Chains A and B, each alone.
Chain A
């Protein structure tokens, strides 16, 4: 990162990375005013993360997926197939609503490349869901119970030769690739290279190269709009993203039902697998954050929520490796920002464990007054505003609820105002009311 970084403690590293981000060095701004606005906004976020008592206002961080494009009248399909339309909608969203952080437009993904790959892990507009909607996860058992050892012994090999062939139809032939290990010696090199030369694998490789090119062109187009967003004074709300090891195993590999049974049928394998996933999950978050010069690493949490598992199961299977990932991120100077989906009313005490690093928990349905009671002043808390009011409420209701939420949650000065849901859609009048009320009532 910089000279002397390795001598710092985790929290000092996090603060150094946050300071670098707030300094906005290297960003080309539209003017001095935009630069000042960027520094002020990023500064508010950094202050809330540090629970800095000098903070002037509650930062406002709306989590958006398709909301900017839907508000602009761009269909879900166009959002994923036309980076100019998607990028412009994200620019317009920032200019119109003036949030303190911009949403990560690249999360929308590149439809053309998904077509090329014959992608199965999600359904997307025009591919399994209607063209006006957003993409949706297509959960299945993509990893069989007997594959635990493959994942544990060599995650990358498992990823490349087992999981990717099942989740990307065009790459199915990669299941017949030989492992790379033989390349250690010339006489043992042939099986791997021969398997690469078979017509189906050659075709799969062509598809992979094509999808890569499509993604590269797409980000070049999208990048221009992201640069515009920053130039206009809006920092991005996330630099990288990763997941809790248990969620990766549950959501993407085994499927919820299978993994829930694995906790009884093969608990030792589950524990070994989640432990094995810690380093890749850390690396994934850090790489994104460093590449984007933004320390905030977004971690959506799923299966550890109240109701999904017992406290004992959470303590055994979920929390230890999530915590390891969070501390691994902090060690690299990144700030883990957990998006706590569902409710965590019964888990709040655990979250207080991370009070010795900078961390943030953005809540969906957790009782925010209770969250503040347990976590206030220890870690940064965020979210808690119901999406239902944005979509079906009146501006007056939104204003009132925003005031109440700030009264309940912001008192320790380590709070960020956000809707507790990644927004696939929004309504103009209520969105406007939400941001205005946040800025008005959020003054300290």
Chain B
């Protein structure tokens, strides 16, 4: 693999324009697209580490997601279908993400979905205000290992509980883990809902899920 140190640094240091210039330059110079793609992956891993150390926060996650998206657009035509679809790595497991019925907030869910994706999980995000029945049907069709339920408002507590109750009714509870996330989540709510864990922070959520799937 070519030494792409300057590209790695540009991505990690949020130098968006430099990263794009270097990506184009290396492609023009004949560096394999996969090498460039892997460099981005490594940079994102470093960004994730900095996030865990509380050196980086949401702006950096959003910026890195944008840089990755822009790079993928350029690199995709040069990568084989197989490598681009899987990012060259085997996915750790499948997570279905949704904001529960009644709640239309999506920022937290979107950030969590992005973080999970960057951490090697296969994510299906089915949007906001999703009824429990739809969440369960989609999770089954997708073959989800984990359901991630998001909700910012207190009105999300009961719809979250409805998902867990229905999973139990349908005999699926022991096959699928349930993680709830949002500003008002705590242990009290987690017990009420019957979820496996609660989070108020995307990285903690990623760690729970990786722990469950390892």
Contacts and interface: CB of A to CB of B under 8 A. Distances in A.
B192 interface: yes
Interface residues of B, number: 32
A138 B104 contact: yes
Contact of A310 (B56, B62, B153, B189): B56
Nearest to B51: A307
B9 interface: no
Contact of A365 (B62, B103, B107, B200): B200
Given A260-B62, A260-B63, A310 B55 contact: yes
Nearest to A263: B59
Interface in A374-393: 386-389, 391-393
A251 to B, nearest CB: 11
Contacts of B104: 123, 128-129, 136, 138
A307 B186 CA distance: 17
B188 A386 contact: yes
Interface in B70-120: 102-105, 107, 110
A382 B201 CA distance: 24
A186 interface: no
A261 B59 contact: yes
Contact of B153 (A343, A386, A424): A424
B154 A424 contact: yes
B184 interface: yes
B213 interface: no
Range class of the A interface residue count: 35 or more
Contact of A421 (B157, B184, B192, B201): B184
Contact of B201 (A130, A138, A307): A307
A313 B102 contact: no
A129 B102 contact: yes
B66 interface: yes
B154 A309 contact: no
Contacts of B184: 386-388, 421
A307 B58 contact: yes
B155 interface: yes
A308 B189 contact: no
Contacts of A134: 153, 155
Nearest to B152: A136
Contacts of A137: 105
B143 interface: no
A264 B59 contact: yes
A341 interface: yes
Contacts, number: 88
Contacts of A95: none
B168 to A, nearest CB: 18
A260 B201 CA distance: 17
Given A307-B58, A313-B57, A261 B63 contact: yes
A179 B59 CA distance: 35
A309 B157 contact: no
Contacts of A310: 54-57, 59
Contacts of B56: 310
Interface string A242-260: 0000000000000011001
Contact of B186 (A256, A257, A386): A386
Nearest to B202: A307
A19 to B, nearest CB: 37
B34 interface: no
A257 B157 CA distance: 26
Interface in A283-341: 307-310, 313, 341
A392 B155 contact: no
Interface string A337-362: 00001110000000000000000000
Contacts of B155: 133-134, 424-425
B16 A265 contact: yes
Contacts of B63: 260-261, 264
Shortest 8 CB-CB contacts between residues of A and residues of B? A260-B59, A392-B192, A388-B188, A388-B189, A260-B62, A309-B57, A388-B186, A136-B104
Given A261-B63, A388-B186, 12 more contacts: A123-B104, A129-B102, A129-B129, A133-B155, A261-B66, A264-B14, A309-B58, A343-B200, A388-B189, A392-B192, A393-B188, A421-B184
Interface of B: 14, 16, 54-59, 62-63, 66, 102-105, 107, 110, 129, 153-155, 157, 183-186, 188-189, 191-192, 200-201
18 contacts: A136-B103, A136-B104, A137-B105, A138-B104, A260-B59, A261-B59, A263-B59, A264-B14, A264-B16, A307-B200, A342-B183, A386-B184, A386-B186, A388-B154, A389-B188, A392-B157, A424-B154, A424-B155
